[in-house]
Amino acid sequence: MNLYLQEVLRKKIITQLQKSYKNDKKLNDEIFVKERQNWTHQDFEEVSGCTLLHTQFLKRLFEYGNRQSDFQISSANRLKIIEFLGYRSWEDLETEMILRAGVEIFIERFLNKDSM
């Protein structure tokens, strides 16, 4: 999964967590207010418990330790992600992520062009 799609997926997971756990003070007051590069192992454990995604996968997706690389998502993690986000299939989610990433890339390039 390329870096643009990873960013869209991270945003979707965080948005869903915020909707699903809006009354959870620990998530909202201690984790979501932090920049993700400042998340601790315990923060990833909390998010893992909510999403059922393994801590190591979340660390990789959220670039813990400033790792930035393309990577493949296993079929088991794909199933957990679509279930958590409420999609019928990985293909439906992936199509939406590609469209969203395309829009974000366009906006980023458009804004950068105007600032030059």
| Tens-digit pLDDT profile for residues 93-105 | 999 999 998 888 8
Q: What is the predicted pLDDT for the residue at 87?
A: 97
What is the pTM assigned to this prediction? 0.83
DSSP 54-110: -HHHHHHHTTTTS-----PPPHHHHHHHHHHHT-S-HHHHHHHHHHHHHHHHHHHHH
Instruction: Identify the band that residue 31 occupies on the pLDDT scale cut at 50, 70 and 90.
Output: confident
Crossing angle for the helix pair 3-20 and 75-85, nearest 10 degrees? Answer: 40
Mean of pLDDT values over 107-113 = 77
Task: Indicate if the pLDDT at residue 67 is higher than 70.
Answer: no
Q: Which two tokens stand for residue 26?
A: 């620990």
Q: What is the DSSP letter of 28?
A: I
Task: Say what percent of the chain tops pLDDT 70.
Answer: 92
Measure Cα distances from 14 to 52, 91, 109 in Å: 14, 20, 25
Residue with tokens 């960013």: 7
